[in-house]
Homo-oligomer: A and B are copies of this chain.
C-alpha cells in the first residue's frame, strides 16, 4: 500500500531519507577513529567513560528540547501532544548513561561531571535552535534517525559488551533504551506521516536529520580527540578518570 499525502509518495520519501541517513552513517562508521577502536577491540573503560559522559550531556537536554517544540507549535494539537508525550518519555534517560558508568566501577563521589566538549555543546545548541526556530516539524528529523539507529549501533554495542566484559544490566542506556525506542521509531514514522504534509516539511525534516547526525559524528570525533589527550596526560576535563575508578 502506498500512502499519498499532498502528492508526496511517502514510501519513496522515506526510502530516500533512509538512504541519505545510511550514507552519513557509513561516512561516520568509516572515518571515526572512535568506532575503529571499538571494532579493533582496543576500546577501554576510559574511552567508554568519556563517550558516556558526553552522551549524558546531550541526552539530558532531549526531553527539554522536545517539549520546546510542543510549546512553539501550539496550533497543531496532534503534534503538540506527540511532543509532550515524548518529552515525558525521554525525561531522565541520561541517568541510564550515568548508571552504566557507575556499574563498571566509576566512583560518583570522586568527580563532578565536566563541562561538555565543544562538539557536544554544538549538538545541544543546534537541537534547541531547530526546536524553537523555523518549521517545528524539523525536530522529527532528529527523532527519526535517533530512534532507529540501533541497526547501526547494535553491532558496536555487542563489541563493547564483549571487550569490556559487561552484562546487559551494565548497558541499560543502549539495551533497555533500545527496547523503549522500538515503539518510538514507529510513533515517529506515524507522526511524520500525519504532519509532514508538504514537500517543504519533508525537506526541512530531512535536512535536520542529516545535520544532527553529522553533528553527532563530530561528537564522536571530539570524544576521541579528548581521549588522545587523556592518554597523553593532557586532558583537563577527564584527567579525573585516572583516580575515579574503583580498583576491582
Contacts and interface: CB of A to CB of B under 8 A. Distances in A.
Given A85-B88, A118-B207, A74 B64 contact: yes
Scoring A121, A125, A129, A210 by chain B CB atoms within 10 A of each residue's CB, the highest score goes to A125
A128 interface: yes
Contacts of A122: 122, 125-126, 211, 215
A67 interface: yes
A149 interface: no
A125 B129 CA distance: 5
Contacts of A14: none
Contact of A70 (B63, B74, B214): B63
Interface string A31-61: 0000000000000000000000000000011
Band of interface residues on A: 35 or more
A192 to B, nearest CB: 19
Contact of A84 (B77, B91, B129, B207): B91
Given A63-B70, A63-B74, A70-B63, A128 B126 contact: no
Nearest to A204: B115
A80 interface: yes
A195 to B, nearest CB: 15
Copies in the complex: 4
A95 interface: yes
A28 interface: no
A64 B71 contact: yes
A130 interface: yes
A84 B87 contact: yes
Contacts of A207: 118
Given A67-B68, A84-B87, A85-B88, 15 more contacts: A60-B74, A63-B84, A70-B91, A84-B84, A87-B87, A88-B88, A115-B134, A118-B207, A118-B214, A121-B129, A121-B211, A122-B126, A125-B126, A125-B129, A125-B130
